[in-house]
Each structure stands twice: as structure tokens, then as C-alpha cells.
Amino acid sequence: MTVARTRRRASPEKTRPSIFWPLAGIVVPLAGVMARIEIEGGENVPMEGAYVLAPNHYSEFDPVIVAVATWRLGRAPRFLVKEGLFRVPVFGWALRVTGMIPVARAGSAATAKQTIETAERLIAAGSGVIIYPEGSLTRDPDLWPMRGKTGAVRVALSGDLPVIPMATWGVQKILPRYGKLSLWPPRKRVKILVGPPVDLSAYAGRGSHHASLVEATDVVMDRIAALEGELRGETPPAERWDPTQHGQKETGRLEP
């Protein structure tokens, strides 16, 4: 598969002066030293309006790659972030001024209310949000997407927002999962494939039903896995890895 660079006009979100300008001036060149990012399907990221971007997660460094790719596609990268990080000095300030979205701890009684508030905030601001449906780094031994959490579809269904699936591949050569950063050789090839919005119309109005959320999440995870399969030139496993079935603790999860 040939993965081509995607070039298109920038949205007002990127062209208006903001805190993202100086941050991008630092992060984008640094990321460019480590990764040669190639994007295909960038036209699937809407230029205006709210949306949920749902990538795979297999390296501690892939949020940087996803953020840079989102910026290159003309949108400001905003992530769903654990609310406790907003209380960290300096770092918490940076999260707030860049418009990152706090999320309650898994199982919290405030989760449902906060999901609705998040959706309403995104709609009002016309912003996108990046949510890792897996909730944490995949535990799959071969780095395929594992079982998903319901956070991404919760936000999407609460606000009738499109869910845009994304897959990246190659970031593990820069920073392997739980490994050490590799700076040589520089500009390692990282491929990104963005798919069209996932059709979740069958679940409209059912965002409060757990079974429906799980089904919708499976649909999203299937699409992400298929995109990763295209990048890898391989067929994804028929069954996704479930950490609970392998005695693995799901640390760092953001939602039930």
C-alpha cells in the first residue's frame, strides 16, 4: 500500500492566533527529526465543526505523532485527559490553556454527566477531540488494537458527533511500548491512515444503554483494526485482545 502525504487548506482553528502556534513551532520540528510522517485519508477529518478522532494506541509516543498529524491536517489537537493531570503544576496550566478535555476516573458517578458536558462543550466551540478508545496502551503482544472502552462513542452519541477512525504504524520504531526512545536513525517512517466517519446511526438515541455503547465501540474498534491492517499489510486478529482474560491489569484507563 502506498501512503501519500495529505495537503489541504487550514481551518480557522489553525489560522487564528492561539497557544497552539508557539507549541507547534517547537513540537512539529522536533517530531520531524524523529519521524517522517505520511498521511493518507486526511480529507476525512472535517475542516470545521466538532468531531471525535479515534486512533490506535501502541506507543507512549504516538500521541505526539497524532497531535502533529492533526495539526498538519488543519485542526487543533485536543485530547481527552485524566482530570488528575490538570492539578499538576505547570503541566495542568498547559492542559487548560490548550483546551484539553478533563475526564473523570473510570467508574466515577460523574462520568455520564461529564460525557454530556464534554459533548456540549465541543459542539459549542466547534472543536474536535482525540480519544483513544482502548483507554490505555494495547496489551496485544503483536500491537493490534485490544478491546475498546466506551468513552469515544459515549461522547459522540451524546452530541451526535462523527467518529473518525485513525490508525498509525511505525511509531514503535521510535519508542517501543514500555521501551526506550530510539533517536537513530532519524526520521523513521510513520504511516497514518484516516478512515471515513464510522456509521453509528443504528445507535442514535441509545447512548445511555451500556449494551449499545459496547456494540458501537466494537464497530469503531473493527474499523481501526482494519485500517491498521491496511498499513501493516496484514489481517487483524478475528478476536481482539482482552487484558482481563490474560490476568493483565488495565492501568491508566479513562472510562469503563
pLDDT at 232 (0 to 100): 97
Pick out the chain residues at pLDDT < 50. 1-6, 252-256
Residue 71, CA distances (Å) to 14, 51, 209, 249 in order: 7, 15, 34, 33
pLDDT at 19 (0 to 100): 85
pLDDT at 91 (0 to 100): 74
Cell of 41: 485519508
pLDDT at 3 (0 to 100): 42
For residue 104, count other CB atoms closer than 10 A to its CB: 18
β-bridge pairing 188-194 and 163-169: antiparallel
Which of 129, 169, 163 has the alpha carbon at shortest distance from 148?
Answer: 163
Asked whether the beta carbons of 142 and 246 are under 8 A apart, the reply is no
pLDDT at 143 (0 to 100): 97
Which of 131, 82, 87 has the alpha carbon at shortest distance from 106?
Answer: 82
